[in-house]
């Protein structure tokens, strides 16, 4: 079984990325042949400073390795080190109906916000389809917001196969229901674009401040809260604390008597503790960047060899070369 996922180097990774995509991906590296990459081609639709892209890409590499991606088990690489993926994007684009892309939220949301979309953003799901199909991937672990793109990938692969024979493996998305959408500090989906993130790594003081500023209502501590399970801090606590601890806080909030300040403090302590080991590993990696570059180079060589065989298969089947 081949597992594949990617993450864009578009800013500091947050707890939503971790529980929605990184942790499932890291767990899956035990279950099959895992390919994980840093989607730097994709980041060109949002970032236009070369130095920012370079720095973010390295940060994602450090974050992912620190969180437990094991290069002995997974193939870890940078997307643009396998340029064949752009060649396959063209082949796939020729069988992709316009309507399919017009319906994609990546493009539709920007349109709705009045942001002038470019061809790259419109074509982004085709590049993503190429990312997936070029490694004969079976399983794609992602957060719920990426499900539509994996479905588009399936449609494109089926269409190509109908025209040119059994070229591509049809992939399946894998979404963990319990962490499908991690809430941000304002209660909406945690996302870099909403300025509501809690980063995985960073300085203690500002992160503590962010958590203490989680948006709550104005009910006094002693008032019982029958909707305790919907509280953002409880939802986040469930991810970073033991089941007993999270249930205990939820019950105390429901019954009344637990103040929001104390709840947030508990959330911060548990969150900080949860990433302690990863924080230490990240510091070690940061002091040994040569090793990180070696890992990515080795991953790219393996990924590229596989990508070349799949692109050649697609070209041959479609009468190219
Ligand atoms: P962002 O919304 O911050 O820009 P990305 O779109 O780069 O995040 O997402 C990278 C990965 O993390 C994707 O697989 C996405 O589904 C997952 N992800 C992002 N935010 C969340 C969230 N709040 N809850 C669950 N998964 C998330
Ligand atoms: N589009 C994904 C995101 O923004 C990142 C990504 C690019 C990806 N190519 C992929 C994820 C292929 C899974 C498989 O989060």
List, in sequence order, the alpha helices (H) in the chain. 15-17, 23-28, 40-43, 50-66, 84-93, 98-102, 105-112, 119-133, 147-164, 204-212, 232-240, 243-255, 260-274, 276-286, 289-317
CB 87 within 8 A of CB 311: yes
Q: Looking at the DSSP assignment, which residues form a beta bridge with residue 140?
A: 173
How many other CB atoms are there within 10 angstroms of residue 285's CB atom? 17
**Ligand 1 centroid – CA 222 distance (Å):** 36
182-192 residue pLDDT tens: 999 999 999 98
Catalytic one of 31, 113, 189, 302 = 189
Angstrom distance (rounded) from CA 187 to CA 215 = 7
Q: What is the Cα Rg of the chain in Å?
A: 21
* Catalytic residue list contains 110: yes
* Catalytic residue list contains 192: yes
pLDDT of residue 145: 86
Angstrom distance (rounded) from CA 179 to CA 239 = 8
pLDDT of residue 321: 81
Expressed in angstroms, the distance from the first to the final Cα of the chain is 30
pLDDT of residue 109: 87
> Which of the ligands is closest to the CA of residue 56?
1
Chain centroid to Cα 109, Å, comes to 19
How many other CB atoms are there within 10 angstroms of residue 40's CB atom? 21
All residue ranges of the chain with pLDDT < 50 are none
What is the share, in percent, of the chain residues with pLDDT greater than 70?
100
Domains of the chain: 2-181+288-317 (3.40.50.620), 202-274 (1.10.240.10)
Angstrom distance (rounded) from CA 114 to CA 112 = 5
For a mutational test of ligand 1's pocket, the pick from 43, 121, 143, 239, i.e. the residue with the most ligand atoms closer than 8 A to its C-beta, is: 143
The protein residue with its alpha carbon nearest to ligand 2, atom 9, reads 128
How many other CB atoms are there within 10 angstroms of residue 71's CB atom? 19
Token pair 């870099």 in the structure block, residue: 192
pLDDT of residue 129: 98
Angstrom distance (rounded) from CA 283 to CA 277 = 10
Cβ-based burial of 99 (10 A; exposed 0-12, middle 13-18, buried ≥19)? exposed
Cβ(21) to ligand 1 under 6 A?
yes
**Ligand 2 centroid – CA 8 distance (Å):** 7
The protein residue with its alpha carbon nearest to ligand 1, atom 14, reads 142
How many other CB atoms are there within 10 angstroms of residue 303's CB atom? 25
* Catalytic residue list contains 73: no
Q: In degrees rounded to 5, what are phi and psi of residue 123? A: -85, -5
Residues with Cβ within 6 A of ligand 2? 4-8, 39, 42, 128, 131-132, 140, 142, 146, 149
Q: What does DSSP assign to residue 183?
A: B
pLDDT of residue 101: 96
């Amino acid at each position: 079984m081949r597992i594949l996922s990617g993450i864009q180097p578009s800013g500091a990774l947050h707890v939503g990325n971790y529980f929605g995509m990184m942790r499932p991906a890291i767990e899956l590296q035990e279950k099959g042949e895992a390919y994980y990459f840093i989607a730097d081609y994709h980041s060109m639709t949002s970032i236009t400073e070369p130095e920012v892209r370079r720095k973010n890409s390295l940060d994602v590499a450090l974050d992912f390795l620190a969180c437990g991606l094991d290069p002995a088990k997974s193939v870890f690489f940078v997307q643009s080190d396998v340029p064949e993926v752009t060649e396959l994007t063209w082949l796939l684009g020729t069988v992709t109906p316009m309507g399919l892309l017009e319906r994609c939220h990546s493009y539709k949301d920007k349109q709705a916000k009045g942001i002038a979309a470019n061809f790259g953003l419109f074509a982004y799901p085709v590049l993503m389809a190429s990312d997936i199909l070029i490694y004969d991937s079976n399983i794609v672990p992602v957060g719920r917001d990426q499900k539509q793109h994996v479905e588009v990938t399936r449609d494109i692969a089926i269409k190509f196969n109908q025209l040119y024979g059994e070229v591509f493996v049809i992939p399946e998305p894998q979404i963990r229901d319990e962490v499908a959408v991690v809430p941000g500090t304002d209660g909406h989906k945690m996302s870099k674009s909403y300025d509501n993130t809690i980063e995985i790594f960073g300085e203690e003081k500002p992160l503590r401040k962010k958590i203490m500023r989680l948006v709550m209502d104005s009910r006094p501590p002693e008032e019982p809260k029958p909707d305790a399970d919907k509280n953002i801090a409880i939802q986040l606590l469930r991810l970073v604390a033991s089941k007993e601890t999270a249930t205990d806080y939820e019950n105390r909030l429901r019954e009344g008597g637990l103040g929001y300040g104390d709840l947030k403090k508990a959330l911060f302590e548990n969150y900080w503790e949860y990433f302690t080991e990863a924080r230490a590993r990240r510091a070690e990696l940061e002091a040994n960047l040569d090793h990180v570059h070696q890992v990515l180079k080795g991953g790219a060589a393996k990924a590229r060899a596989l990508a070349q065989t799949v692109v050649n298969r697609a070209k041959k089947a479609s009468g190219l070369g």
